[in-house]
Amino acid sequence: LTILFTNIAISQTHQIIKHNGEQLDVNFIKLENDLVYYTFDGSAEEHKISKYAVSKVTSKQSNQTQKISDKVIVDSKSDYKFVTVLSQDKTIGLKQAANFSGVSTKTKGEPPMANQNHTAMRIKTES
């Protein structure tokens, strides 16, 4: 009886639908720290992808859909507010559109957090 329940739990499959239209048949594990964790059917190896690359996860058995993120489309400079600055480890599965470089300056008496906010704003508006 235990083996039967184990097989049912292992064979539960989901479908990850990415923003680029790609569909992956996987076993969904969890959504944590802006990453979606999953395994491929029949494999124990855990994979992860940025939640910003995933549109939704659908359970094939119950047909329930969980929305993960909205697709961000930047058409004009005013769309900068939709851009999210991510650390390198949170970009798995995303394509890199551009590199940004520049000089970081700090105004005397300005806290470090303000400098980070200015840098993030520059990245968002230049994207």
Same domain, yes or no: 121 and 101: yes
Average pLDDT over residues 17-31: 92
- Please give the tally of structural domains in the chain: 2
Domain range enclosing 43:
2-67
Q: What is the DSSP string of 48-63?
A: EEEGGGEEEEEETTT-
Mean pLDDT, rounded, for 46-75: 91
Burial class (CB in 10 A: 0-12, 13-18, 19+), 4: exposed
Q: What is the pLDDT of residues 76-97, one digit of tens each?
A: 877 778 877 788 888 898 887 6
Q: What is the pTM of this model?
A: 0.71
Q: Is residue 25 pLDDT above 80, yes or no?
A: yes
Q: Establish if 35 belongs to a structural domain.
A: yes
Single residue among 39, 67, 95 that ends a domain in this structure? 67
Q: Are residues 87 and 43 in the same domain?
A: no
Output the pLDDT for position 5.
41
Kindly state whether residues 41 and 82 are assigned to the same domain: no
* 52 found inside a domain: yes
**Residue 62 counted as domain residue:** yes
Q: Distance between CA 124 and CA 9 in Å, rounded?
A: 42
* The last residue of a domain, from among 16, 32, 67: 67
One domain for residues 58 and 81: no
* Residue with more model confidence, 61 or 56: 56
Q: Which one has a higher pLDDT value, 94 or 112? A: 94
Helix (H, G, I), strand (E, B) or coil at 94: coil
Output 49 or 7, whichever has higher pLDDT: 49
Q: Rg for the chain (alpha carbons), in Å?
A: 19
Q: Are residues 86 and 58 in the same domain?
A: no
Please check whether residues 62 and 82 belong to one and the same domain: no
Mean pLDDT value across the chain: 80
Taking the C-alpha atoms of residue 29 and residue 87, their distance in angstroms, rounded to an integer, is: 22
So what's the pLDDT on residue 127?
A: 57
